[in-house]
Amino acid sequence: MYPIYTHEKSREIFERALKVIPSGLYGHQGPAEGCWMPVEEWPAFTEKAQGSYFWDVDGNKYIDYMCAYGPNILGYNDADVDAAAMEQLKKENCVTAPHKIMVDFAELLVDTVACADWAFFCKNGSDATTGAVMAARSHTHKEKIIFFKGYYHGVHPWSQKIDYPGIVPGDVAGSVYVPWNDEAALEEAFRKNKGKVAAVIGQPYWHGNFADNVLPKEGFWQKVRKLCDENEAALIIDDVRTGWRLDLAGSDHYFGFKADMICFCKALANGYNVSAICGQEKYKNAMSSLSYTGSYWMSAVPFAAGIACINKMKRLGLPKVLNEKGKQLCDGLVEIAKNKGYDLHATGAPSLFYLRLANDDIKGTPSLFLHQKWIAEMVKRGVYLTSHHNHFINASLSDEDIKITLDIANEAFDAL
């Protein structure tokens, strides 16, 4: 029997946070968007992390399958990445002119990423998707952006929705929405907006929240590529979440096509804060033309971390290793669920698996109530999962961690 965790200190700190921080904890790491249901089963604050674990402020240890929502790809506090970052920190970080390591990092990305003739650095995934969309608009002198419904490309106004707080109609006037995997709808969107589409932006596969994840249909991306070419629109791939967990050459390469621009963040430097837009030669001048930068965008420490991270991912044979670990875990979970009489769906790439218990679906529509309860039973025994978002595998996850996870899954299903 695994001990049942409680979170008194987390709650205490959360109460303090509510007084001085809007909503206490915001965004995807807060209870609402993190969808900690039932909320009292989740820790709110962490104390330390190592490898594939973190410890919360109450001293509970978790096997962490959220990996900081993606950045942890080699293991928390990876010795090689941290050593490279610390060595750079001794020299300089944020200085009047950038350190030459910025050029080394750009060269490494150009050598590694199939569609990349250049690399442009910023901080967050939202900066990268925004920069790519602006470059597409600058290059094409067109306004419209086609999105696949259920997308997430960050938080900048152009990527939000008309009914979101703080958004005005002008922010999203250029947005056109089509269903994922629907070639005919995309063709129709191009037809209706003839001569106006600057770009199609998409995640490499549908990894939205609250629903099973969906891979591209055979030939889908090739058709998208063709339509973009015919309509002189840029094809932008948002690899912020999937990047480095499908293919080190980019997820477009994995699915057999070439993006015009591709956006990376999250796992790019194993948790150090840097994002990148990589692109084809054709879009380089447009990227140069933008009024686009930030106080910390050329900091050297994350560049050093990024170089060490990419080189280590290559040495370890990622992402194959991550997908094997993910498959071992998902196969085990689905089997245990079946033996206990539950229908557990594991979808998406195994390195970014999405889980959903489907026993209480209502006429094919996910209910998620049962699923949330099972996930909470896992979390309170030390396996950190969320109930509505895809998960992440990191390279330090051991066979023993997977075994413990499966043991806990057995107990969690019994408790359910």
Stretch of 86-94, 119-127, 253-261, 336-344 lying at the interface with ligand PLP (CB under 6 A)? 119-127
Report the residue count for the chain.
416
Retrieve residue 92's tokens.
């300089």
124 binds ligand PLP, rule: CB under 6 A: yes
Q: Which stretch binds ligand PLP (CB under 6 A): 30-38, 124-132, 168-176, 184-192?
A: 124-132
Phi then psi for residue 29, to 5 deg, are -95, 0
Q: Which part of the chain contacts ligand PLP (CB under 6 A), choosing from 35-43, 134-142, 149-157, 360-368?
A: 149-157
One residue of 52, 60, 130, 203 binding ligand PLP per CB under 6 A: 203
Residue count, binding to ligand PLP (CB under 6 A): 13
Among 54, 65, 120, 152, binds ligand PLP (CB under 6 A): 152
Binding of ligand PLP at residue 265 (CB under 6 A)? yes
Under the binding rule (CB under 6 A), the answer on residue 126 touching ligand PLP is yes
User: Closest Cα to residue 304, out of 3, 149, 82?
Assistant: 82
| ∠ CA 143-145-147, rounded to 5° | 170
Least distance (Å) from ligand PLP to the CB of residue 390?
Answer: 9
Sorted by sequence, the CB contacts under 8 Å of residue 406 that are 6+ apart come out as 329, 332, 333, 336
- Beta carbons of 160 and 191 less than 8 angstroms apart: no
Q: Among 270, 222, 238, 226, which residue's Cα sits nearest to residue 70?
A: 270
Is 238 a residue that touches ligand PLP (CB under 6 A)? yes
Query: Considering only residues 30, 51, 75, 154, which one is a binding residue for ligand PLP as defined by CB under 6 A?
Result: 154
Options 3-11, 49-57, 235-243, 292-300: segment touching ligand PLP (CB under 6 A)? 235-243
Nearest approach, Cβ of residue 347 and ligand PLP (Å): 16
Note the Cα 312 to chain centre separation in Å: 20
The minimum distance between CB 160 and ligand PLP, in angstroms, equals 12
Considering only residues 48 through 107, tell me which ones interact with ligand PLP, judged by CB under 6 A: 69
* Residue that has been written with the tokens 């075994």 in this structure: 403
Q: State the nearest-atom distance from the C-beta of 410 to ligand PLP, in Å.
A: 31
Q: How far is the CB of 414 from ligand PLP (least distance, A)?
A: 34
Tell the smallest beta-carbon distance from residue 126 to ligand PLP (Å): 3
What is the C-alpha separation between 37 and 376, in angstroms, rounded? Answer: 7
Q: Which of 52, 60, 112, 129 binds ligand PLP (CB under 6 A)?
A: 129
Query: Residues 239-258 vs ligand PLP: string with x where CB under 6 A?
Result: -xx-----------------
Neighbouring-strand partners of residue 278: 119, 262
Task: Locate 182 and state its tokens.
Answer: 């629907």
Cis peptide before 319 (omega within 30 of 0): yes
Q: What does the alpha-carbon distance between residue 158 and residue 414 come to, in Å, rounded to a whole number?
A: 46
Q: Is 329 helix (H, G, I), strand (E, B) or coil?
A: helix
Q: Is 204 in the site for ligand PLP (CB under 6 A)?
A: no
Question: Judged by CB under 6 A, which of 99, 142, 153, 388 binds ligand PLP?
Answer: 153
Q: Are 398 and 328 in contact (CB under 8 A)?
A: no
User: HEC states along 183-233?
Assistant: HHHHHHHHHHCCCCEEEEEECCCECCCCCCCECCCCCHHHHHHHHHHHCCC
Q: Using CB under 6 A, list all residues that contact ligand PLP.
A: 69, 124-126, 129, 152-154, 203, 238, 240-241, 265
